Structure 1
């Protein structure tokens, strides 16, 4: 590895030396001519519960099937016994009493000898950290005369105990019990054992284990390292909860926001739409507990400084699956859900849903400004339902911007039909999606140059370069894909008067539980890493500025000439000029930027470089920063900047105005 790296470095230095001997290509930046305002929402993030992103991912619950609501009610659980212990487990159906949490278990311990119990495997194991505190909770009831107590243990992959706690249920009525303990070792594939000791029986529900250290240390909260990566992007918006799970494979399993708030044990579990979507990556144990629900989404958006962007079902199941439709005359409950959500987010304490938000601990409004009607719908059925939703929302909340789908593809008959219709209706924002090869992204950096400046704004809602093919399990988060996305994003930013929002997709993926690749952030049960694509997104977000200014070569915008892609902006808040330049070729390029305008600049500029890697370079859990930004400084001579941009490299230059 050292020899290879030394060889590559030597080649890079030789290429730089050759480039420096060449005549620089000259670019002009008209820093005093604002071309477009850049919205604060320009670069955001899109969350969907795919690839174990919520349960098993950012939602820090470690117990799988904690309330026994999977179709196989004991999925994830195994009966255990030691030292002669005997017993049995029965699943109890209480649908008539609690339809939203219809199953509990009754555990009978037959003798006083040894121990009997159950183990839980977690989500591809449980990530346990030495010295970390863990909180075990269970809802239980114990008949009079039962002598059962619970001993909780964490086991490592070899079966050794690495944490333990004890609690004793005392009530004949359902009651929540809790015990906290500290882990004595680190383990990526731990499991939970709940031993029952003493003759008798006990009813159990909501068996749960959380690390005490979560994002903002909220009890039963989110995984801190994953949310931190979102915070570090400084995103302009958070789109949630999807994605195709908004639609569901059928309407029974669609996402219903009202069932995702309030008491955890009253949030009705459903099967995840990605459970059996791909034969090459089946996940029959993939369900949604909604522990990460709409209240948590709104609070997370607030935490990371992002505008919330909820997407709601419009009466259509996923058109790639059943395509089930709600008759138009039965659409009222769906529309009312949208109206009630706006009230939940923005209503005062004198409103029904605003009061509920306050009662849930958030009296301040969430300042919701936009809402998605449907996810990735197309066709006449979508148009008919969109009209009904839009009229109802605009009549009551005219300030809400509506995100409208133009289908799953960036071209074709379905796209063209929707695009024409929505432009004729003066729609607010159109949601375009692109999952294409890297070459498509390079070729389409000019996509928005000729869009109607007076038409609807564009939300590049889902995009990612596919190294092999759409939905291929062999797609990689490599540097070639990330660089092509950077080139494409210069076109988004250059056309910020048309494009107001953009987000890569999908966001998260568990290394042992993914269905779709590529993805922005990968993780296992203990660690996580950002991909090269993440760093591209982050650099654009952290360096977007407030206003686009022309960056030209020979009087034309730079969008692929000589393999170069570029954009420039000013930040009126920090009084800086920001240059983004991509060299997509395999040769170094010496460039010179001549800046016009009244402003003068400090002699030292800050440069961030991401690149000069092989096309197949990737990050990993063991090498998380193999492809990552490097900061340096450079000298500015008056209003002239000269720099050599290495092969396959993305550079950001920030110049402070005097």
Structure 2
């Protein structure tokens, strides 16, 4: 039996109730040392990592609904179905960085000449929602040319229409609004020249009228809202391996991702063909979701931005291509210019670009990562060049280096001492392991060097059987995170990965949030991250059982923090087994009693650790809220099997 759920409502706390499954308990005693307040917990401790994998950007968070809107794919009509006389042209283009456009030639002998686009595995339309359609055009015949735009359902029936007149032989933007008459998950759009004439067309675009915060060139509302609800402290972007590229030519170049969205050059996606079982030859990056939008999203969701830049090495899994150490100047200048773009005055070159894009105020960038999962001497030699210049020009910026692609082994052991020698501020560690690894590694940072660089757990996720986003994996992560929290003097940031996955177009799993063209679902892993981020606290408190940290004894894991700003003590308890526990939690050294003698509890639980949330059943496993009574300096917590608890106690002022 599950705890009562409170979904999308203010938290309502009810008095303690006894569940039938609590009939037999193992007894445990935990002691929290309130007298000795420990290390500070960084405000950016728990965050998110975004990479354009699994159609996470184009076809996902980025709200554009048309694929290949500027006809710049290697096969220009990929994503489109042309009919009548439609040809790709390049003479006198509308946009110099996206030179392809199409010429419609309608002679009045057919029912029309035009194009259909099916979007990203279909276009999702919501009944009664409005959609903004736009394109650039010029009339070669200099006549008045009428276009018809149709939203189509899966059966090719029109569920929304509009008409637009094109006049004049100069490139001009045309727009209209179309309302959908019905909901359709696998729709498409049809664009028809109905009058005789010749017209050039470029950058055909379709957005929901309602985007996140109503922004133009905006983000899909439900996915951006899910990020906001996480309360993340940091947003790492634009990815990991896509930063490197399969080749240096296909690496992510941030300067290509700013300025007018229509003139951002296309880039092939790193995940185009890496996974042969999920091959997507139409997976490109439009850069519509670019560095300006990433900075803006960070600001909107209250997260510190952490951009990742190429260090001059292509992906070492797939290539040995690298820039010579003495030829890195342009790469290093990209990093310096990015800092200017984020923080510079509007009178500077790149600060002016930011201001012209609509944000004259600086983004207050505080840190930057150089490289992703690079390793060996080739990485260290290049990183050293970046560190030297950034320290000279921007000593206020923290630098994140890397420890390679694994959590241990030869490269990991080589890189950590090198990161100390270079005096980077944080070292990025990655681990995709089975749940057992996460259980065992709750102690991982107990013995780390307290004086060296701090740890950034930049990519991690528990990979259970079939790499499912089930409760077992989520609890393994919750157990591991008690060790991150206990060692907040060493671990300054942590981000689960990957973030998004389209159910019809994914290459990697597990992922925190799954979605289709209409809806999305948050996984149990998402709720673990949310429970940590919203209950991060400000300082570590010691919590022990029999004078030992609670790191798996009786399958229990625990951490405790002080929230100094709200005068609260927060206790997190994870039970990875099916055994129920009665835990007496005593606060040693508490001078004042709890306000109203109340403990507010949030619990994530299921009797079946294989349980998952799905698009069909998105609320199968969600946190529930209730309250219990406390004694003067203690409280009893009844812990069911397969559960994660967050307990908050407010101290009287």
**Equivalent residue number for residue 149 of structure 2:** 152
Q: Is the partner of 1:595 in helix, strand or coil? A: strand
TM alignment of 1:56-95, pairs within 5 A: 56-80=59-83, 87-94=84-91
Structure 1 gaps of 5+ residues are 3-11, 81-86, 469-473
The counterpart of 2:24, out of the listed 18, 24, 27, is 18
Q: What CA distance in whole angstroms lies between the structure 1 residues aligned with 2:469 and 2:89?
A: 46
Among residues 188, 191, 198, which one is paired with 1:191 in the alignment?
Answer: 188
Kept in 2, the 8 Å contact 1:95–1:103? The answer is: no
TM-score by length of 2: 0.95
Aligned to 2:14: none
Establish whether residue 641 from structure 1 lines up as the match of residue 635 from structure 2.
yes
Give the whole-Å Cα distance in 2 for the aligned partners of 1:158 and 1:329: 59
Give the secondary-structure state (helix, strand or coil) at the position aligned to 1:537.
helix
Contact 1:95–1:101 (CA<8 Å) still a contact in 2?
A: no
Shift of 1:566: 0.2
2:175 corresponds to 1:178: yes
In 2, the alpha carbon distance for the partners of 1:13 and 1:362 equals 53
Q: 1:426, CA displacement in angstroms? A: 2.6
* Deviation of 1:220 (Å): 2.6
Is residue 28–residue 594 contact of structure 1 (8 Å, CA) maintained in 2?
Answer: yes
Q: How far off its partner does 1:99 sit? A: 4.9
Give the match for residue 562 of structure 1. 554
| 1:392 has 2:400 as partner | no
Is the contact between residue 479 and residue 613 of structure 1 (CA under 8 Å) also seen in structure 2? no
8 Å Cα contact 1:347-1:354 kept in structure 2: yes
Does the CA-based 8 Å contact 2:594-2:650 persist in structure 1?
Answer: yes
Instruction: Summarize deviations over 1:238-287 as a string: whole Å, max 9, x none.
Output: 10001111111101111111110111121000110101010011011100
2:586 to 591, 594, 603: 594
Cα distance in 1 for partners of 2:225, 2:92 equals: 39
**Pairing partner for 1:483 from 461, 475, 479:** 475
SS, match of residue 46 in structure 2: coil
Q: What CA distance in whole angstroms lies between the structure 2 residues aligned with 1:337 and 1:145?
A: 44
CA-CA distance at 1:93 after TM superposition: 3.0
Query: Which one of 501, 517, 533 corresponds to residue 541 of structure 1?
Result: 533
> Following TM superposition, by how much is the alpha carbon of 1:512 offset from its aligned partner in structure 2, in angstroms?
0.4
Aligned positions of 1:407-446 closer than 5 A: 407-446=404-443
Match of 1:110 in 2: 107
2:145·2:167 contact (CA, 8 Å) conserved in 1?
no
Q: Residues 612 and 590 of structure 1: is their aligned pair in 2 closer, same or farther, counting only changes over 3 Å?
A: farther
Structure 1 counterpart of 2:12? none
Partner of 2:5: none
* Per-residue deviation, 1:451: 0.4
1:129 aligns with 2:126: yes
How much has 1:219 moved relative to structure 2?
Answer: 2.1
The 5 Å alignment of 1:52-451 reads: 52-80=55-83, 87-94=84-91, 99-111=96-108, 113-451=110-448
SS in 2 for 1:173: coil
Residue 625 of structure 2 corresponds to 631
**1:206: how far off?**
0.2
1:276/1:284 contact within 8 Å kept: yes
Q: CA deviation at 1:112?
A: 5.1
Residue pair 1:270, 1:287 contacting (<8 A) in 2 also? yes
- The offset of 1:201, in angstroms, is 1.3
Question: Paired residue for 1:51, among 51, 54, 71?
Answer: 54
Count of aligned positions:
635
- Normalising by structure 1, what TM-score? 0.95
Q: Distance in 2 between matches of 1:324 and 1:601?
A: 61
Aligned to 2:600: 606
Cα deviation, residue 329, structure 1: 2.0
Question: Residue by residue, what CA displacement relative to the aligned partner does 1:211-233 show, whole Å, maximum 9, x if unpaired?
Answer: 10000011231001100000001
1:510 and 2:510 aligned: no
Deviation at 1:109, TM superposition (A): 1.0
Alpha-carbon distance between aligned partners in 2 of 1:632 and 1:601, rounded to the nearest angstrom: 17
1:444-486 Cα shifts (integer Å, max 9, x gaps): 0000000011111000000001113xxxxx3210111000000
Q: CA RMSD in A?
A: 1.5
Using the TM superposition, give the Cα deviation of residue 113 of structure 1 relative to its aligned residue in structure 2, in angstroms. Answer: 4.7
Query: 1:612 touches 1:646 (CA, 8 Å); kept in 2?
Result: no
